[in-house]
Amino acid sequence: MAGRSRNWLEAISERIHAQKKAQPSIDKKTIEKAWKMMDKVVTHCANRRLNLKNSPPFILDILPDTYQHLRIVFKHYEENVTFLNENEFFRIFMENLMNKCKQTVRLFKDAKEKIFDETSAERRSLTKLSLIFSHMLAELKALFPMGVYGGYTFRVTKQDAADFWAVNFQTRAIVPWRDFRQTLTEAHPIQSSLEAMALKSTIDLTLNDHISIFEFDIFTRLFQPWPTLLKNWNALAVTHPGYQAFLTYDEVKAKLQPYINRPGTYIFRLSCTRLGQWAIGYVTQEGTILQTIPQNKSLCQALIDGSRERFYLYPNGEDQNVNLSEILSPTEERHIKVSRGTVRDIL
């Protein structure tokens, strides 16, 4: 029995050693390899048949900007490459960048002619990947401002949220999703695996199975205040028909176009140019489509005010508007059962 246990432990030890050995070292060649992969994506996306609009998130700007910032980072640490190899965030970022580039190239290969159809699911997948690359660039610039690592001093905007991260994760800039979930549920109970899946799809903006302090800051700004964080998220992202995940400015206009004769129809999304803020798209009385970013108020308050002023009446074209007044009242956190259908909508 003892021998069997020893063999089992040795097997685990060998696996861990192999995983550590398999971790790619980061050097100038790594940056150049990343650029070659990004360049493949850029070449595919530069095809005139795609007719990509030069509006955020514009992948033909995002990937070259990412490469330039990586060059700045590497230049700063050229004499201390060990730091980059030991930096948890940077290693995960580079691995995710490579994976997302491979995923995009594979999308073009598998989609073939469908990728040129702006209404196809494959084209929608490309747009979502563009958003992910945009989030990754924003995250890289936030944690390596001017090419210098700033994860130790990054400030989470909301004090309660900042205290939570500092107490539980200290100076770490990124943690595995499973660790984050386990820690968060001690402060804000997560009721089911489906709810956890829906939450992950909202907060993990770069889709790398980790949560960075940057993503945490965005999430807690979007769904403030901290004491009712998951209650707010449930009401605004899980059950609200107006919420749209991973949608761009142009896609909002296209989605609202069928309701052009129904003033007051509205949807809302995360702003891709101002991460941490909301963008609301709505049909005006004149039959035009406008998009606005609420200033100096929460999304909840903006939707309530807009409903009263008859700007936001029909979420995603539905007849019944959502009563959000209870979110503003200091009640105990209320959990809503998350269904598989709801998770699909969020994803």
pLDDT in tens, 157-197: 999 999 999 999 999 999 999 999 999 999 999 999 999 99
Taking the mean position of all CA atoms in its chain, how far away is CA 149? Answer: 21
Say whether pLDDT at 13 is over 80.
no
The CA-based diameter of the chain, rounded to the nearest angstrom, is: 79
Residue 333 has a pLDDT of 43
Say whether pLDDT at 14 is over 80.
no
Average pLDDT over residues 69-96: 96
Residue 9 has a pLDDT of 53
Q: Residues 6 or more apart from 265 whose CB is under 8 A from it?
A: 256, 259, 282, 283, 313, 314, 315, 316, 317
The CATH superfamily of 159-238 is EF-hand (1.10.238.10)
Architecture of domain 249-321: 2-Layer Sandwich (3.30)
Quote the percentage of the chain above a pLDDT of 90.
81
Average pLDDT over the chain reads 90
Is the Cβ–Cβ distance between 294 and 281 less than 8 Å? Answer: no
Residue with tokens 């990412």, as numbered in its chain: 66
Q: Give which of 147, 138, 137, 142 is closest to 74, Cα–Cα.
A: 147
Average pLDDT over residues 52-63: 95
Q: Give which of 251, 244, 291, 202 is closest to 55, Cα–Cα.
A: 251
Residue 27's pLDDT band, with cuts at 50, 70 and 90, is confident
Residue with tokens 């489906």, as numbered in its chain: 194
How many C-beta neighbours within 10 Å does residue 232 have?
A: 23
Instruction: Tell me whether residue 55 is exposed, middle or buried, using C-beta atoms within 10 angstroms of its C-beta: 0 to 12, 13 to 18, 19 or more.
Output: exposed
The ranges assigned to domains in the chain are: 2-147, 159-238, 249-321
Q: How far apart are CA 324 and CA 212, in angstroms?
A: 29
- Domain 2-147 carries which CATH code? 1.20.930.20
Q: How far apart are CA 335 and CA 278, in angstroms?
A: 23
How is residue 65 written in tokens? 């900007």
Residue 326 has a pLDDT of 80
How many C-beta neighbours within 10 Å does residue 46 have?
A: 11
Average pLDDT over residues 80-107: 97
Taking the mean position of all CA atoms in its chain, how far away is CA 83? Answer: 26
Q: How far apart are CA 49 and CA 32, in angstroms?
A: 28
Strands (DSSP E) along 85-172, which ranges? none
Chain segment 302-321, per-residue pLDDT in tens: 999 999 999 999 999 999 99
Say whether pLDDT at 339 is over 90.
no
Average pLDDT over residues 63-71: 97
Chain segment 231-258, per-residue pLDDT in tens: 999 999 999 999 999 899 999 999 999 9
Say whether pLDDT at 220 is over 50.
yes
Residue 344 has a pLDDT of 43
Is the Cβ–Cβ distance between 44 and 104 less than 8 Å? Answer: yes
Q: State how far the alpha carbon of 97 is from the alpha carbons of 38, 204, 255, 260, in Å.
A: 9, 15, 30, 39
